[in-house]
Amino acid sequence: MASCVGCSRSFKTQEALEQHTRNSPAHTGSIRDSPAHAPSHNRRGRNRPSRGERVLEQNIRAPTPDTPLNKFFQSFPSFPYDPNLPPAESYAQLQRFKGWQRGEAASKKGWKRYQAALKNEVELWFGSEDDIGAWHALCRAIGIDPLPPTRRKCKQAVRNKYVNIVDLIEWARGGMLDGTTVRKFRTLDDLREYTRNTRKIFPNTLDSSEGGNVVLRHLLRHIFRVA
């Protein structure tokens, strides 16, 4: 097990830790803590650092953080990418810029790469389900207040919540800084309609390597699979 000195998050391998250090905006010299990973509290009320990565607001003069989505969009050198836009909007702009038509090979390849970047972005911003910091980041995103003191209570709090995972990514990338929370839906059908209308589509797959992620384990199945 390897741990990040800057944010106290734990990783199963040294390689995973090195990738986190390279990619996380928490390590780009940013200027202030984000509410996404504010300090958690133990049962005695004493502050302790969250084990989840601390997402920091990027300094306007700093380079664009090397996140999976940013790397994807910046792999098209002539594309005028704005990292402050929602991912779905940036992808729609990229489609128009490249002239991709649905069904053609280039469009399918671009979509597949975009979906892979979304999955990696979730892993970057939201950690493992055995990390109370990751649970608290998720709870903050969907407006659960006060934060539950244990992982079990966090799991109970997010159960049957319907949110769009691309919205969660957008929140983690900057929407959280204005104090807003992710939109919640009353039913799975409401969420499906929203997802179709906005094209905020997240890949409906969950392999063994992603099984421990707090978002994918506890929201992806609720959103896309009928219980």
Give me the residue spans of the domains in the chain: 67-224
Tokens representing residue 202 in the block: 């997240």
Between CA 89 and CA 200 the distance in angstroms is 9
Query: What is the structure's pLDDT at 152?
Result: 92
Residue 130 and residue 152 in contact, taking contact as beta carbons nearer than 8 Å: no
- From first to last of its 227 residues, the chain has per-residue pLDDT tens of 555 544 444 544 555 555 445 444 444 433 233 334 444 444 443 333 333 334 333 333 345 678 999 999 999 999 999 999 999 999 999 999 999 998 999 999 999 999 999 999 988 888 888 889 889 999 999 999 999 999 999 999 998 889 999 999 999 988 666 678 999 999 989 998 999 899 998 887 655 455 567 677 777 754 555 43
The three-state DSSP-derived secondary structure of 140-206 is: HHCCCCCCCCCHHHHHHHHCCCEECHHHHHHHHHCHHHHCCCCCEECCHHHHHHHHHHHCCCCCCCC
DSSP code for 79? S
Provide long-range contacts, Cβ within 8 A and 24+ apart, for 82-87.
Answer: 83/173, 84/174, 86/166, 86/170, 87/118, 87/121, 87/166, 87/169, 87/170, 87/173
Rounded to an integer, what distance in angstroms lies between the CA atom of residue 64 and that of residue 85? 13
What is the pTM (predicted TM-score) of this model? Answer: 0.69
Q: Which helix (H) or strand (E) holds 84?
A: none
Cβ atoms < 10 Å from Cβ of 116: 13
Give the integer Cα–Cα distance in Å for 54 and 75.
26
User: By the 8 A CB rule, do 26 and 124 touch?
Assistant: no
